[in-house]
């Protein structure tokens, strides 16, 4: 069945603590078709990628890794209370801590414009983090959904906004049409030319990130004036035993991980006692669109 139903992907690419390091890979460029399949779908200003579809089409790249909190990528929201964005490589960049999401339906939140210096994400600091760590200028989002109840599909609305120091809106990027939520389906099917039809379960607490989101015009070089603020807001509905996690990275939009894939920031870093985060990042991306069904 032909559809366009693959959503969000934000969270982080990671690996279990005992697993070997995995270098970051670049996604295909816009309009790339892999084995007859377009692997991204456009929702408003964003492109969405299913990591399980990517992993089926490019198994050596290892897109479908375990997700968890760590110190490489910026955590925007998570169920785990007490998480910090001031550890490890994030320490120099004045990044606000993540918002803890609760098990409510619907659940909403925002990050980056909290009214104090500790809760405000300056574009200049975020830009510096992306540049220093990944030689990137465009942030990328990954999502790990955790819908372990009877309805694994999730619906999402999301928006990124940039304000000047006086609170005036300079630019925004909207997921979908800004009115109707976008579905992150519990099941995604793909039908390549040379591989069998394959269906995947999403959003069931697998510990692996499910979707990746990228807005190609979100180049922070254009918004890096003093005092500008970066804000992310979201609403999740049809939440069924939630616990969603969203993160921000530059791993696959920058050149460092392309030129030197063995660099520490391009590897999976173990997190004591749990999972290791390698971030979802992406590069200037694409639109692969063909047969995705649910």
264 CB-near residues (< 8 Å, 6+ apart): none
Determine what percent of the chain is predicted with pLDDT higher than 70. Answer: 67
Backbone angles phi, psi at 126, to 5 degrees: -65, -40
In the structure, what pLDDT confidence band is assigned to residue 200 with cuts at 50, 70 and 90? confident
The confidence score (pLDDT) of residue 201 equals: 81
Structural contact between residues 88 and 69, judged by C-beta atoms closer than 8 angstroms: no
Both tokens assigned to 287:
């639109």
**Three-state SS at 223:** helix
The confidence score (pLDDT) of residue 112 equals: 98
**Three-state SS at 31:** coil
Structural contact between residues 137 and 103, judged by C-beta atoms closer than 8 angstroms: no
Average pLDDT over residues 265-285: 32
Report the range out of 31-35, 93-97, 144-148, 240-244 with the highest average pLDDT: 93-97
Give the HSE-up count for residue 126: Cα atoms under 13 Å, Cβ half-sphere. Answer: 33
pTM for this entry: 0.79
């Amino acid at each position: 069945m032909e559809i366009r139903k693959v959503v969000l992907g934000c969270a982080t690419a990671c690996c279990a603590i005992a697993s070997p390091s995995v270098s970051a890979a670049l996604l295909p460029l816009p309009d790339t078709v892999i084995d007859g399949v377009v692997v991204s779908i456009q929702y408003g200003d964003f492109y969405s990628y299913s990591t399980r579809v990517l992993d089926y089409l490019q198994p050596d790249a290892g897109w479908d890794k375990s997700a968890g909190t760590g110190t490489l990528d910026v955590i925007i929201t998570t169920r785990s209370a007490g998480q910090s964005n001031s550890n490890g490589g994030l320490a120099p960049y004045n990044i606000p801590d993540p918002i803890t999401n609760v098990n409510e339906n619907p659940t909403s939140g925002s990050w980056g414009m909290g009214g104090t210096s500790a809760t405000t994400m300056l574009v200049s600091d975020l830009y510096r983090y992306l540049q220093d760590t990944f030689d990137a200028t465009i942030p990328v989002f990954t999502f790990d959904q955790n819908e372990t109840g009877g309805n694994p599909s999730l619906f999402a609305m999301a928006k990124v906004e940039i304000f000047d120091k006086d609170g005036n809106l300079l630019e925004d990027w909207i997921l979908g049409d800004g009115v109707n939520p976008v579905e992150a389906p519990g099941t995604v099917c793909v039908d390549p030319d040379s591989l069998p039809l394959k269906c995947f379960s999403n959003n069931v607490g697998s510990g692996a990130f499910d979707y990746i989101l990228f807005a190609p015009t979100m180049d922070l070089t254009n918004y890096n004036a003093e005092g500008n603020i970066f804000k992310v807001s979201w609403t999740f509905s049809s939440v069924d035993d939630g616990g969603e996690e969203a993160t921000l990275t530059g791993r696959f939009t920058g050149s460092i991980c392309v030129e030197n894939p063995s660099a520490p920031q391009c590897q999976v870093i173990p997190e004591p006692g749990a999972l290791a985060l390698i971030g979802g990042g992406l590069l200037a991306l694409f639109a692969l669109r063909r047969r995705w069904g649910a």
